[in-house]
Chain A
Amino acid sequence: MAQENVEAPIPGKVISIECKVGDTVQEGDVICYIESMKMENPIVAPVAGKITELKATEGEVVETGGLLAIIEY
């Protein structure tokens, strides 16, 4: 099994998390939304697989490259 880290492409505040550990996701499914510069930015799964870890928490401020989730595929 390979692992894929889902990282924040931009700094901002995690405003909602759309999946939970154990969920099976398709490529393009929304993992969470990051609010940055007054815009909601969907962060999507780069690959299809299973969410094994969720690092992001709602309300948390993340920097670019901050780990949000890990997908096993």
Chain B
Amino acid sequence: MFNKILIANRGEIAFRAVRECKEMGIRSVAIYSDADADALFVKHADEKYPLGDPAPLSSYLNMEKIIDIAKKSGAEAIYPGYGFLAENPKFVELCEQNGIEFIGPPSDSMNRAKPKHRARKLMKDNGVPTAPGTDDAIESVSDTAAIKAVTEVADSIGYPVIVKPSGGGGGIGMRVAKDKSELEGAMKYAESRGSSSFGIAAFYLERYFTRAKHIEFQVLADKMGNVVYVGERECSVQRRYQKLIEEAPSMIMTPELRKRMGEDSIKVAKALKYVNALTVEYIYSVDTGEYFFNECNTRLQVEHPVTELLTGFNMIKEQIRIAAGEKLSFTQDDIQPRGWAIECRINAEDPFKGFVPSPAKITDYQPPGGFGVRIDSGVYAGYTVPFQYDPLMLKLLSWGNNREEAIACMQRALGEFIIEGVHTSIPFHKVALDDEVFRGGNYTTNFVEEREIVKKLMQSRSQATG
């Protein structure tokens, strides 16, 4: 096992990694920008090194600086968390060259998952269901022969279709074409946003499912070749492709379907020759009950605690053990999910004003507690939420013996939560969890728009004040 780990991240996930290191008897090394000098992960780490300028490129994305600190501090491994350098194969290669263990997949596995159209093809060839679409990426909208071919594919699979940039992530550049007249515009959009955001102009096209759920599978693989699926999470409550509420299990899941999707997820891991934590995302059509590979994330996900609450297994400790060369501490048969778990992402943003960011000083912070409540947080009263990074302040989770209990527990916890000084997404969550379609469990990725959650939120406030 490692003696010392450098944590190449910030916020709640860095604090979580510090906590796991402490429990495992490993010394933790925090790196922090000027904007994070007062953060909890810095305060509680065993060693800390400043990165200076808060701009991400000079701090948490600065590979050379981070490798230098790892060497100087004597850290044998780097924990990447999610975001920043977690999915950057160049950084993994740099770690490999410097004899530092990257707590994640090898760079080869990461490269096999990129770009997205190639991952899609790889999964199709390995027998994982993919949505009907183009098998190869289109390099440019000015390639008239390719465009003619794409249009024929779209016509044959039927509209609506979705055009996705191959370099994609976070929903950037994706656009739905409801009919043929919208196809060219969608392709141009994917090409231009793909080039500007990812440096990759190529895009591909798939059938778009209007009534679909986002269901993902957690997979863990060790270096001995043991691979398990640790169950599903449903993440259909999204706004602009950003997840807001996640739960497990999914209401649509049956033991047979879980086994099929789980085993397909293992196929994905094996096709990538994967080691460590992997998430395989699927689109599940509510109308037909079919599921299709969407993409895979070669890192730990923000919402992994949902799986931890359901199974009792600690994903971060497992990642560290795998990286140290140990065998998975449990087998497929050991995974016996129990009860129901929900996560609400508490962001510093104002849901009453179009979710505008709200970076500011937290003047009061009184978190909820009691049976079934878990909080993974990086903030406290007096802490200033910096504007340089994403708006996630903390994750609020609830557990219950069944879905009703888990929702009741979450509503109770949201009601207790006091955060002053910054606007938060808490009011959004209260309205979303009260919605009858959410309660029924039959919601889709269009839930927030279809159920007019933001409008209901506005009404709830005018009723409260009026």
Contacts and interface: CB of A to CB of B under 8 A. Distances in A.
B231 interface: no
Contacts of A36: 357, 359, 387
A16 B387 CA distance: 17
Chain B interface category by residue count: 10 to 19
A38 B390 contact: yes
B356 A12 contact: no
A10 B390 CA distance: 14
Nearest to A37: B357
Contacts, number: 33
Interface string A29-64: 000000011110100000000000000000000001
Contacts of B272: none
B348 interface: yes
A22 interface: no
A9 B356 contact: yes
Interface in A1-18: 9-13
6 contacts: A12-B387, A37-B357, A37-B390, A38-B389, A39-B357, A64-B360
Contacts of A64: 360
Interface of B: 348-349, 356-360, 387-391
B158 to A, nearest CB: 34
Given A37-B348, A37-B349, A11 B356 contact: no
Contacts of B387: 10-13, 36-37
Question: Which one of A11, A12, A41 has the highest number of Cβ atoms from chain B below 10 Å of its Cβ?
Answer: A11
User: Which 8 A-B residue pairings sit nearest by Cβ, starting from the closest?
Assistant: A37-B357, A37-B391, A36-B357, A36-B387, A11-B387, A12-B387, A38-B390, A11-B359
Contacts of A11: 359-360, 387
Nearest to B358: A10
Given A37-B357, A37-B389, 14 more contacts: A10-B356, A10-B359, A11-B359, A11-B360, A11-B387, A12-B357, A12-B387, A13-B387, A13-B388, A37-B348, A37-B349, A37-B391, A41-B357, A64-B360
A9 B387 CA distance: 12
Contacts of A38: 389-391
A10 B350 CA distance: 11
Contacts of A13: 387-388
Contacts of B349: 37
A41 B357 CA distance: 9
Contacts of B388: 13
A9 B358 CA distance: 9
A40 B348 CA distance: 15
B81 to A, nearest CB: 15
A18 B337 CA distance: 53
